[in-house]
Amino acid sequence: MAKELKELTSRSENYSQWYQDLVIKADLAENSAVRGCMVIKPYGYAIWEKMQRQLDDMFKETGHVNAYFPLFIPKSFLSKEAAHVEGFAKECAVVTHYRLKNDPNGGGVIVDPDAKLEEELIVRPTSETIIWNTYKNWIQSYRDLPILCNQWANVVRWEMRTRLFLRTAEFLWQEGHTAHATSGEAEAEARQMLEVYATFVEEFMALPVHKGVKSASERFAGAVDTYTIEAMMQDGKALQSGTSHFLGQNFAKAFDVTFTSKEGKQEHVWATSWGVSTRLIGALIMAHSDDNGLVLPPKLAPYQVVIVPIYRNDEQLAQINEKVAGIVKNLKSLGVSVKYDNSDNKKPGWKFAEYELKGVPVRLAMGGRDLESNTIEVARRDTLTKETRSCDDIEQYIKDLLDEIQQNIYQKAFDFREKTTQVVDSYADFKVKIEDGGFILAHWDGTAETEELIKDETKATIRCIPLEGDKTPGVCMVTGKPSTQRVLFARAY
RNA sequence: CGGGGUGUAGCACAGUCCGGUUAGUGUGCCUGGUUUGGGACCAGGAGGUCGGGAGUUCGAAUCUCUCCACCCCGACCA
């Protein structure tokens, strides 16, 4: 079994340190020379690429197309939607000049004071404003609708405190921005994309989520309704993993985007926006990994299988190379991504530890003994178990095993979530149970005051008002006033 | 932005309180050899603006001021 990894803090010892260590040791990302901004390293970026490819396919399947809008937003645009500016103003990077010059006092380069911009540019924290300013010109008639655009981009939010993947000043994401003729159609779009996100996170990230709607105070700045998927991390804190907003006519009104309806009337356009970010990588890490390192679900692992040869001399290596080549070929033809690591500058033991740390779902090892007996050693990352099997039909076995691992990782996360979800009826009980971590289902009177009180006293927030599950009415655990259904509480990232 | 901590070789750290030879240790790296079924061993070698700047001093990794970065706990947030 794996030796205790040097320098990887255990989860029980210090969960955030474990997370931090893991991101670095598994070579996913590192802090950069720029405050709050990370360098995503090749292995981490490979995971993002897998996520992107899958999500992009799902967006295309639901009728969306990709486009690209500017990084910079004129300052005046941001202030057109009152709630929006209120929500983002405090965390915007601002471009004020367009030129540098040599310091006449010899101190390198300085900002040229003569190159001040007439109007400052905001580095986008999100693109609703620049996009709706653009859509204004694209939309005249109901025939121009719907517009179903997505963009893959980077955005900047000047956060006070950052953590690799979970919260960085710059992050990568996709943002969908759609325009519709009717409220119902926009609402359906927002709900559809929430489903797309939930499907992606559950099926590919192997992470169960609660779908729901945000309370007013947790709503996106400028939205009428914010839909969310909420996942549970191993330390008992919830992570908002994707959001889809029904924006009503707020942005259409702010940017004066109207169309002529079939009936010949001028109407404001209805909108949605929806996004997921590199934060998902943080969720992936925190949900499944263990004290030995990453555990990646096969569907998102940069490579699903790694093969390590064990040999005493060049002749034996040549024999193993030949034997493994056939297996690699067959695995690839079954659609399995595989890396054969026969590099001579690392020892097998080192490779075992390394790929375990990097979360490769299946590791195969072939040595002299296996050559003799036509066998191969199969090691699972999720259970850390090993078995020796015949090479006959090993490829199909591996393919099936990958499905099983995907399922097992999901099941483990699901069981954990269920185990850590509690139903609570009294506020006194809530205050006790919230200390256990996990989700709490409780009745709430629907007011911001009660929500605020709970947050102040317990640090727990309403993650969402679930769309599915028990809808039985009751009474608020704090005020005793009527409640239409239980809502989902947790402490959150 | 408030409180706390850290910054010395690629990485992890000691040395700082109490200023004084040539700044150490582990690991990693390079060379040679032996090894290879869970992070190998021996021998030799290279590698440092002690986070940046200013100051005190005959002398600063060490004292003072200042700036910067990172981590932890808060407030804010995807």
Q: What is the pLDDT of residues A16-72, one digit of tens each?
A: 888 888 888 888 888 877 778 888 989 999 999 999 999 999 999 999 999 999 999
pLDDT beyond 50 at A1? no
CB-based contact A250:A223 (threshold 8 Å): yes
- pLDDT of A66 reads 98
Q: How far is the CA of A347 from the C1' of B45 (A)?
A: 23
- Strand B contacts (CB < 7 A) among A residues 108-167? 157, 159-164, 166-167
Does nucleic acid strand B have an atom less than 7 angstroms from the CB of A395? Answer: no
- pLDDT of A106 reads 63
More confident residue, A114 or A66: A66
* Joined tokens for residue A272: 């949605």
More confident residue, A398 or A437: A398
Question: A181, A194, A197, A196: which is closest to A147 by C-alpha?
Answer: A181
Q: How far is the CA of A469 from the C1' of B30 (A)?
A: 63
- pLDDT of A112 reads 85
Mean pLDDT of the A347-360 span:
93
Vertex A155, ends A152 and A157: CA angle to 5°? 155
Question: A28, A26, A9: which is closest to A17 by C-alpha?
Answer: A9
CA–C1' nearest nucleotide, residue A278 = B78
Does nucleic acid strand B have an atom less than 7 angstroms from the CB of A7? Answer: yes
pLDDT beyond 70 at A377? yes
More confident residue, A115 or A192: A192
Does nucleic acid strand B have an atom less than 7 angstroms from the CB of A179? Answer: no
Residue A109: CB atoms within 10 Å: 10
Measured between alpha carbons, how far is A328 from A464 in angstroms, rounded to an integer? 46
Q: If one looks up domain A422-490 in CATH, what number appears?
A: 3.30.110.30
- pLDDT of A105 reads 67
- What's the pLDDT tens digit per position in A412-466? 999 999 999 999 999 999 999 998 889 999 999 999 999 989 988 888 999 999 9
* Joined tokens for residue A490: 């947790």
Does nucleic acid strand B have an atom less than 7 angstroms from the CB of A2? Answer: yes
- pLDDT of A4 reads 33
CA–C1' nearest nucleotide, residue A2 = B38
Q: How far is the CA of A107 from the C1' of B63 (A)?
A: 29
CA–C1' nearest nucleotide, residue A5 = B39
Torsions phi, psi of A89, nearest 5?
Answer: -55, -35
Measured between alpha carbons, how far is A108 from A147 in angstroms, rounded to an integer? 48
More confident residue, A111 or A272: A272
Torsions phi, psi of A143, nearest 5?
Answer: -70, -20
- pLDDT of A86 reads 84
A477-489 b/e (C-beta count within 10 Å ≥ 16 → b): bbbeeebebbbbb
- pLDDT of A222 reads 92
More confident residue, A54 or A104: A54
pLDDT beyond 70 at A366? yes
Measured between alpha carbons, how far is A264 from A466 in angstroms, rounded to an integer? 39
- pLDDT of A5 reads 39
* Per-residue confidence band for A3, with pLDDT thresholds at 50, 70 and 90: very low
Does nucleic acid strand B have an atom less than 7 angstroms from the CB of A292? Answer: yes
CA–C1' nearest nucleotide, residue A31 = B70
Where exactly are the structural domains of chain A? Answer: 15-96+122-288, 305-404, 422-490
Q: If one looks up domain A15-96+122-288 in CATH, what number appears?
A: 3.30.930.10
CB-based contact A482:A423 (threshold 8 Å): no
Measured between alpha carbons, how far is A313 from A41 in angstroms, rounded to an integer? 34
pLDDT beyond 60 at A2? no
- Strand B contacts (CB < 7 A) among A residues 404-463? 459
B chain positions with any atom within 7 Å of a protein CB: 1-2, 11-12, 35-40, 68-78
Q: If one looks up domain A305-404 in CATH, what number appears?
A: 3.40.50.800
Q: How far is the CA of A31 from the C1' of B20 (A)?
A: 38
Shared fold status for A15-96+122-288 and A422-490: no
Q: How far is the CA of A424 from the C1' of B22 (A)?
A: 69
CA–C1' nearest nucleotide, residue A241 = B78
Does nucleic acid strand B have an atom less than 7 angstroms from the CB of A280? Answer: no
- Give the ipTM of the model, two decimals please: 0.85
Mean pLDDT of the A471-480 span:
95
Q: How far is the CA of A38 from the C1' of B12 (A)?
A: 22
Q: How far is the CA of A26 from the C1' of B13 (A)?
A: 22
Measured between alpha carbons, how far is A67 from A60 in angstroms, rounded to an integer? 12
* Joined tokens for residue A116: 């001040």
* Per-residue confidence band for A7, with pLDDT thresholds at 50, 70 and 90: low
- pLDDT of A390 reads 97
Does nucleic acid strand B have an atom less than 7 angstroms from the CB of A489? Answer: no
* Average predicted confidence (pLDDT) for chain A: 92
- Strand B contacts (CB < 7 A) among A residues 23-42? 25, 31, 34-36
Q: How far is the CA of A32 from the C1' of B65 (A)?
A: 28
CA–C1' nearest nucleotide, residue A162 = B77
CA–C1' nearest nucleotide, residue A313 = B36
pLDDT beyond 70 at A373? yes
pLDDT beyond 80 at A107? no
pLDDT beyond 80 at A104? no
* Per-residue confidence band for A101, with pLDDT thresholds at 50, 70 and 90: confident
Cα–Cα distances (Å) from A387 to A246, A376, A404, in that order, read: 51, 8, 15
Measured between alpha carbons, how far is A373 from A311 in angstroms, rounded to an integer? 15
CA–C1' nearest nucleotide, residue A381 = B38
- What's the pLDDT tens digit per position in A57-92? 999 999 999 999 999 999 999 889 888 888 888 888
Cα–Cα distances (Å) from A362 to A195, A305, A349, A365, A380, in that order, read: 30, 5, 16, 10, 5
Does nucleic acid strand B have an atom less than 7 angstroms from the CB of A366? Answer: yes
Does nucleic acid strand B have an atom less than 7 angstroms from the CB of A187? Answer: no
Mean pLDDT of the A265-274 span:
97
- pLDDT of A8 reads 76
Does nucleic acid strand B have an atom less than 7 angstroms from the CB of A319? Answer: no
